[in-house]
Amino acid sequence: MPVTIRDVAKRLHLSITTVSRALDGYDDVASETQKEVIRTAHEMGYIPNRAARQLRRRKAETIGFIMPASAKRIAEPFFMEFIAGLGDELTMRGYDFLVANATTHVDERELYQRWVGGNKVDGLIVTRLNVQDWRVQYLIEQNVPFATLERSNGRAIYPCVQVDGEHAYFELLRHLVDNGYHHIAFIGGPVELVNHQNRLGWIRKAAGELDLLIDPAFIISADLTSMGGYQAAKELLDITPRPDAILCIDDETAFGALHAAHEKGLSIGSEIGIVGFDGTLESQHTEPPLTTLDIPLYNMACRLVRMLLKTLAGHTQEADVDKIIPELHIRGSTHRS
């Protein structure tokens, strides 16, 4: 029942070819005709059938994002801001945005296959990379364009946005030392995570430069959820002597750590310092507000989209790589006032 290109052609006594070309702005149609076509098409409420267009053009005009199965829930602030950025940028550019979340690894693989094999998407955004990552391997094999947040090991080139936190962590540790914190702990994620390796590496480097010793028992893994952070922090705080500053791999984990510290009756900001990573919006409203390394998640997502679309358009000489420098936001959670 929707109006097709044929209807428009019939109404104007033109061929569908001409209508199609007029709407696509080819220069082999008289500008007089073109105006007429555009006007009539709009008037009749013509909207091209996406499936037909996709089939013929062999393009989906759609970008996909699959929540990694390793993520416990899509509802984390991190993913939200990230997804918001992807969605906004994509819809602004006339692309559609397909989302799924994988619950198991088998599932995840199947989703990738379904989308790639079925031509559902022209490209994908991949995040939460592992040091060795089967997803990038698969996508390269299949020759499907993609862009990533952080990058895995290997010599393959692909567009990505990378965080360089070396300097920021140095600043952070200096701030901590200046405020009397000397016994630093780290609640990370799964060790195969690129983020885990990088952030821990930067912390170690900065600690070395500031002559701080990090007790190996103070480095533990959680699962990037607030519950995981809560439990990990409880463990850490039970050790004697206990750490006096807890650096978390992300804000979400830090929320749980805050909770655990409150529960222990510790005065956060003086007896114990807690630090996040990401600079999510909720980090401003915790009690006390959370010191964190802020990265522009929303903008990073937008950039990834632009990179990916550029690759799709073929305007790609070498793969883009964007470097992001986190910004240290000092708030009440590490500040003895």
Partner DNA sequence: TGGTTTATCCAAAACGTTTTGGAGATTATA
Partner DNA sequence: TATAATCTCCAAAACGTTTTGGATAAACCA
Separation of alpha carbons 241 and 263, rounded Å: 18
**Based on CB atoms, which residue is closest to DNA, 3 or 74?**
3
Closest residue by Cα to residue 257 from 288, 284, 293, 226: 226
**Based on CB atoms, which residue is closest to a second copy, 3 or 213?**
3
CB 202 within 8 A of CB 166: yes
* DSSP single-letter state for residue 256: H
Residue 17 interacts with DNA (CB under 7 A)?
yes
Residue 18 interacts with DNA (CB under 7 A)?
yes
Residue 154 interacts with a second copy (CB under 8 A)?
no
Residue 60 interacts with a second copy (CB under 8 A)?
yes
Per-residue binding letters, 48-67, with DNA (x by CB under 7 A): xx--xx-xxxx---------
Residue 21 interacts with DNA (CB under 7 A)?
yes
The least distance separating DNA from the CB of residue 16, rounded to whole angstroms, comes to 5
CB 186 within 8 A of CB 253: no
Q: Is the dihedral of CA 74, 76, 77, 79 positive or negative?
A: negative
Q: Is the dihedral of CA 209, 233, 197, 145 positive or negative?
A: negative
Specify the 3-state DSSP secondary structure of 175.
helix
Residue 213 interacts with a second copy (CB under 8 A)?
no
Contacts of 278 (CB under 8 A, 6+ apart): 77, 78, 250, 251, 252, 292, 293, 294, 295, 297
Q: Which stretch binds a second copy (CB under 8 A): 5-13, 68-76, 182-190, 238-246?
A: 68-76
Residue 88 interacts with a second copy (CB under 8 A)?
yes
Residues between 260 and 279 with contacts to a second copy, criterion CB under 8 A? 262
Closest residue by Cα to residue 297 from 316, 278, 312, 313: 278
The least distance separating DNA from the CB of residue 22, rounded to whole angstroms, comes to 7
The least distance separating a second copy from the CB of residue 287, rounded to whole angstroms, comes to 3
Separation of alpha carbons 324 and 277, rounded Å: 13
Q: What count of other Cβ atoms lies within 10 Å of the Cβ of residue 334?
A: 25
The least distance separating a second copy from the CB of residue 277, rounded to whole angstroms, comes to 17
Per-residue binding letters, 22-41, with DNA (x by CB under 7 A): -xx---xxxx-x--------
How many residues of this chain bind a second copy (CB under 8 A)?
57
Strands 327-329 and 291-294: antiparallel
In a 10 Å sphere around its CB, with 0-12 CB exposed, 13-18 middle and 19+ buried, how is residue 6 labelled? exposed
In a 10 Å sphere around its CB, with 0-12 CB exposed, 13-18 middle and 19+ buried, how is residue 324 labelled? middle
Interface pick for a second copy out of 22, 184, 245, 258 (rule CB under 8 A)? 258
Residue 49 interacts with a second copy (CB under 8 A)?
yes
Interface pick for a second copy out of 63, 81, 193, 207 (rule CB under 8 A)? 81
Residue 284 binds which one of DNA, a second copy, none, with CB within 5 to 8 A depending on kind?
a second copy
Residues between 222 and 251 with contacts to a second copy, criterion CB under 8 A? 226, 230
| Residue that the structure tokens 């010191």 belong to | 291
Q: Which residues bind DNA (CB under 7 A)?
A: 2, 4-6, 13-18, 20-21, 23-24, 28-31, 33, 46, 48-49, 52-53, 55-58
**Residues making contact with a second copy (CB under 8 A):** 2, 45, 47-52, 54-55, 60, 67, 73-77, 79-81, 83-84, 87-88, 90-91, 96-103, 107, 111, 113-114, 117-120, 226, 230, 255-256, 258-259, 262, 280-282, 284-287, 289
